[in-house]
Amino acid sequence: MLPVGWSLLVPLKALPRAKTRLRGALAGVGHERLVVALALSTVRAAQRAEGVAEVVVVTGDERLRRELTPLGVRFADDAGSLNDSLVAAAEARAGLPVAALTGDVPALRPVELAEALALAEVRSFVPDLPGDGTVLLAAPAGATLRPLFGPDSAAAHARSGANRLDGLWPTLRRDVDTPADLADAVDLGWIPDLS
């Protein structure tokens, strides 16, 4: 049986600073519109994953808040740095199972996220497809999240004692940082909502 009750934190940078390597990746599509589409797809999929009780978007960007409010998510404030923001949001949910999911996995299939969370019986992380980044960090009830996102975060999380989960989850592990990543996400089935 899958665990129930995960509070899933999705951190999102302010739009002017987000996903700079994707500028101009889709002809005729404004950069901020593309970044919003990545976030919307990620959050919608996360909300449908079995075991996720709530999705908390961690951002200080007002446009992102407006775009995501209709989805019924909760919000937590940006506390300055990514890791500090996640720590603050996790501490507000002390005693609950808490996980942090990057906001750029738009092809995500909910079943893959549910499977990864079900395996997180101790503090655990899922690396991205190249293997050096982290797409998911999960801390079950009683554990501390201790996020270490940034360059080579997979190695940092492993050194900190987090259990590495290397499941066959192509849509969970396909984060989008470059135009090539974007093409991969489309190949995995993502249909961007650019309306």
Residue ranges with strand state E in the chain: 6-11, 52-58, 74-76, 98-101, 124-127, 134-139, 163-164
Average pLDDT over residues 83-103: 96
Average pLDDT over residues 38-45: 97
Residue type, 27: A
18, β-bridge pairs? none
Average pLDDT over residues 111-119: 97
Per cent of the chain over pLDDT 90 is 85
pLDDT averaged over every residue in the chain: 94
The token duo for 186 is: 């489309």
Give the sheet arrangement for strand 163-164, strand by strand.
Answer: 74-76, 52-58, 6-11, 98-101, 134-139, 124-127, 163-164
Alpha carbon of residue 107 to chain centroid: 12
- Measured CA to CA, the distance from residue 16 to residue 126 in angstroms comes to 27
pLDDT digits (tens, 9 = 90+) for 65-79: 999 999 999 999 998
In CATH, what class is 6-187?
A: alpha beta
> What pLDDT was estimated at residue 193?
80
The CA-atom distances, in angstroms, between 131 and each of 50, 93, 95, 152, 170 are 25, 29, 30, 9, 12
The token duo for 128 is: 């991205």
Q: What are phi and psi of 87, to 5 degrees?
A: -60, -45
For residue 174, give the nearest of 72, 38, 66 by alpha carbon: 38
For the chain, domain boundaries: 6-187
| pLDDT for residue 1 is more than 70 | no
> What pLDDT was estimated at residue 46?
98
pLDDT digits (tens, 9 = 90+) for 125-164: 999 999 999 999 999 999 999 999 999 999 999 999 999 9
pTM of the model: 0.94
The token duo for 105 is: 């996995």
